[in-house]
A and B are shown apart, each in its own frame.
Chain A
């Protein structure tokens, strides 16, 4: 698990429900009252006297059919990559990003903008389709895996060349793997490509064949390679040899020096303003009509740090798309823009990440805290779970655009979501009963429960300043828990300060949204294992602090190594159930995700993962020039 979204690797297809937004809002509170939901949102009205005439009725029917045809043709371009459709070529898309890239070398930079630049300019051996989550051939056109799941032989496509014209060979793949694990390279990709505690090993039988060997069987298998951009050996070998690979391809590098296998090449980076990408004329993928991809001549990413300004620019047509989903408060203005015909609004489905609430449960740090006696009891956390009405929580915090959840895996991650997970129905009485069971009662009548020694259940909860849903969420939690006698005080902090407090366990409770690195649980072992760096409530344990954590460790190690999908499913259900019973982290609601882009952009296949649209940049086109 990490702070930036990355690969998605479930076992089977899990296409989220991506549907036109108009239908969704019929059932949502965001529906503009008094408006019918036709295109443009205007009420359709017909005078009854004219409607009574058969001639007018016939004309009207014809008109409606023609209108429907026009509407159909206007909305179809979203799927405009079918072999028969004439996809427009040329032109440019202007997107916006909110932060500068830290480096053009993805091996040493984990920020979202660097990842996006890598997606646009580099390529992987295999790719996970971010809409369907299916694994698809990319630079490797085929592969075979051994029966024990440890050895994978990949065959590279013929005739693929780097953007400078040099042919791609297996030596480039070997070089890339070598760079990831070079001791002098502070690689941010190494942990993802480590299996069974050992780096993956690459060998080449010939210039077109690569054999990847894992130290142990791995459930995700070849999917791991989606996280490895292939870099040009002929350009970077000397930097790796002289120990300066980490500094290679920094943001001050002249764009002409950066070569890749992606659909675009970097043309210019103007700090504080924009990144400009031109079409890679040597890109290896072809459109269904046999012509070269990408369709676009140019892609521009404007740097707009403020999200409000970013959305205003999207509404005005100054930009075509953004790299993030909409906030709940942005739905209504975007819906108006959709009615004006400038914006296409899409429901991506339920998000895969949810806001989480947890206490620091590290005995070494909290042992002297008198509250730790009841804090470490699972009954205390179960009482909290009962005290929160998740339906109301979703209504208030996400303005209705969310679904209740009881565990870390949301319905958005369909292959691993388990709907029968243990639930805690909202009940203040049950919550009070559980608290009484562990000796917590309001003995002094001040509205806050305390134990026999007078220690009150009073906590400070840290959240991120300026993030609307988090600030609303903590306020709702404070009010809900106050009813059962648990007092929360809210401390909104800047991200840096909050993370530092989290790592040092210098907090009572935290409410924020951690992002999954991978939708496959085997890719998030740092969350599940007690020794993991993302085991929030008690990071990096030498040995499991609780028996149930030891059980999770054991099951997850088996789950990640199993090659049997059904077995993996069953094991992961067991793990989710253990977590739901002990509740070291509490989850309340998963937001529905909405994405908006300009109607002039064609071919968008939106994903719940970031970037929502540009992961598929080679297949995007525009219907009209700017």
Chain B
């Protein structure tokens, strides 16, 4: 197990370096750089100063080597957009995204898996309706879902129409501040959770349907096991394997932040930060966000593997063997 964990950590490190280095080099090589943010009429001296500050006056390889050396000391450089160290920015944004991701994942799991068990084991109008809604949730682009939810929130005022805290949060106690954040979570969490819940439902339904036709379940039926126990205690556990396989990816994707959802709902997370950085060609912020996203993806993948190992002994043997 220790060897397995060590291998995975090495993989995580490789992923972080590869993803962030690629992001840095692609941002550098793409047309336009951060100096265009100074506007079309910035003086040549101002442009030169900015290029020097962000090492854009060096060759791409030299800039990358310099950045990598600094990043190994957890110095990811400065952001042009925010005019402050990237490390501070990605730390705060990652925490916000993590809070959002945990809630979204919990919602997706609690909605998607029970519905998948239901549609995978039943026939009829109710199951068909759930399948239809799932397909709809999968088909609608996140931009539309987010805007629709913001629209609903703004019309009904059931929950805040964006942001992470209220304007009065400044004077709140810690407990009241947490309650305020909780009030702002449903909108972006739902926008993130809906397509993932639909994915879980589809996978769980298919897997459950296959599991119910396994010989050992036919034997259980012959032994007189109650239908409820048959599904919950026997079929479900077997059917979890495909869910666990995508669970890690879902965690990674959620923790990396959703560009669209965070942007539209004004959630100050990693996805929005990355989007703004990309638009401004804020090279070190792009690389820092990519590094954090890569780290989260690797951790998500690790969690998925561990869950799979817990659910299926064959997978456990394959991983540790």
A534 CA to B157 CA in the complex, in Å? 47
Chain A residues, Cβ within 8 Å of B280: 496
Q: Does B131 contact A (CB under 8 A)?
A: no
The reply to whether A499 and B45 contact each other, CB–CB distance below 8 Å, is no
A251 CA to B81 CA in the complex, in Å? 10
The reply to whether B46 and A186 contact each other, CB–CB distance below 8 Å, is yes
Q: Does A533 contact B (CB under 8 A)?
A: yes
Q: Does A80 contact B (CB under 8 A)?
A: no
With both beta carbons as reference points, the residue of chain B lying nearest to A534 in the complex is identified as B41
Q: Does A554 contact B (CB under 8 A)?
A: no
A160 CA to B294 CA in the complex, in Å? 54
Chain A residues, Cβ within 8 Å of B31: 493, 496-497, 500-501
A308 CA to B147 CA in the complex, in Å? 8
The reply to whether A499 and B161 contact each other, CB–CB distance below 8 Å, is no
Q: A251-B83, A304-B266 are in contact. Are A495 and B36 (CB under 8 A)?
A: yes
A318 CA to B89 CA in the complex, in Å? 26
The reply to whether B32 and A496 contact each other, CB–CB distance below 8 Å, is yes
Q: Does A541 contact B (CB under 8 A)?
A: no
Q: A94-B167, A533-B41 are in contact. Are A309 and B82 (CB under 8 A)?
A: no
A489 CA to B264 CA in the complex, in Å? 31
Q: A316-B157, A318-B162, A501-B31 are in contact. Are A496 and B40 (CB under 8 A)?
A: no
Beta-carbon contacts under 8 Å, A283-339 to B: 300, 302-306, 308-309, 312-313, 315-316, 318
B-contact bits for A1-41, CB 8 A (1 contact / 0 none): 11110000000000000000000000000000000000000
A-contact bits for B261-297, CB 8 A (1 contact / 0 none): 0011110110011001001110000000000000000
Q: A3-B41, A496-B33 are in contact. Are A271 and B266 (CB under 8 A)?
A: no
With both beta carbons as reference points, the residue of chain B lying nearest to A315 in the complex is identified as B154
The reply to whether B81 and A102 contact each other, CB–CB distance below 8 Å, is yes
The reply to whether A250 and B266 contact each other, CB–CB distance below 8 Å, is no
Q: Does B22 contact A (CB under 8 A)?
A: no
Q: Does B59 contact A (CB under 8 A)?
A: no
The reply to whether B150 and A309 contact each other, CB–CB distance below 8 Å, is yes
Chain A residues, Cβ within 8 Å of B89: 271
Q: A273-B163, A502-B40 are in contact. Are A250 and B46 (CB under 8 A)?
A: no
Give the Cβ gap from A474 to chain B, nearest Cβ, in Å. 18
The reply to whether B40 and A534 contact each other, CB–CB distance below 8 Å, is yes
The reply to whether A306 and B263 contact each other, CB–CB distance below 8 Å, is yes
Q: Does A526 contact B (CB under 8 A)?
A: yes
With both beta carbons as reference points, the residue of chain B lying nearest to A2 in the complex is identified as B41
Beta-carbon contacts under 8 Å, A493-518 to B: 493-503, 514
The reply to whether B82 and A251 contact each other, CB–CB distance below 8 Å, is yes
With both beta carbons as reference points, the residue of chain B lying nearest to A246 in the complex is identified as B49
Give the Cβ gap from A573 to chain B, nearest Cβ, in Å. 25
A-contact bits for B72-111, CB 8 A (1 contact / 0 none): 0000000011111000110011001000000000000000
Give the Cβ gap from A542 to chain B, nearest Cβ, in Å. 14
A507 CA to B225 CA in the complex, in Å? 75
- Our count of residue pairs bridging A and B at CB distance below 8 angstroms stands at 145
Give the Cβ gap from A89 to chain B, nearest Cβ, in Å. 19
Q: Does B124 contact A (CB under 8 A)?
A: no
Chain A residues, Cβ within 8 Å of B151: 312
A498 CA to B135 CA in the complex, in Å? 39
The reply to whether A276 and B170 contact each other, CB–CB distance below 8 Å, is yes
With both beta carbons as reference points, the residue of chain A lying nearest to B36 in the complex is identified as A496
With both beta carbons as reference points, the residue of chain A lying nearest to B84 in the complex is identified as A252
Q: Does B153 contact A (CB under 8 A)?
A: yes
A-contact bits for B174-217, CB 8 A (1 contact / 0 none): 00000000000000000000000000000000000000000000
Q: A102-B83, A186-B49, A273-B164 are in contact. Are A3 and B40 (CB under 8 A)?
A: yes
Give the 10 A-B residue pairs with the shortest CB-CB distance, closest first: A272-B268, A316-B154, A3-B39, A496-B32, A496-B36, A497-B32, A499-B36, A497-B31, A312-B154, A300-B167
Q: Identify the A interface with B (CB < 8 A).
A: 1-4, 92, 94, 100, 102-103, 109-110, 186, 188, 191, 250-252, 267-268, 270-274, 276, 300, 302-306, 308-309, 312-313, 315-316, 318, 493-503, 514, 526, 533-534, 626
Can you name 14 extra interface pairs (CB under 8 A) apart from A496-B32, A500-B31? A100-B276, A103-B83, A250-B83, A271-B82, A271-B84, A272-B92, A273-B163, A274-B167, A302-B266, A306-B266, A308-B264, A496-B37, A500-B32, A514-B40
24 contacts between A and B (CB under 8 A): A2-B40, A3-B39, A109-B83, A191-B43, A272-B92, A273-B164, A273-B268, A302-B163, A302-B167, A304-B163, A305-B266, A308-B150, A312-B147, A313-B161, A316-B153, A316-B155, A316-B161, A318-B154, A496-B279, A496-B280, A499-B32, A499-B40, A503-B40, A534-B41
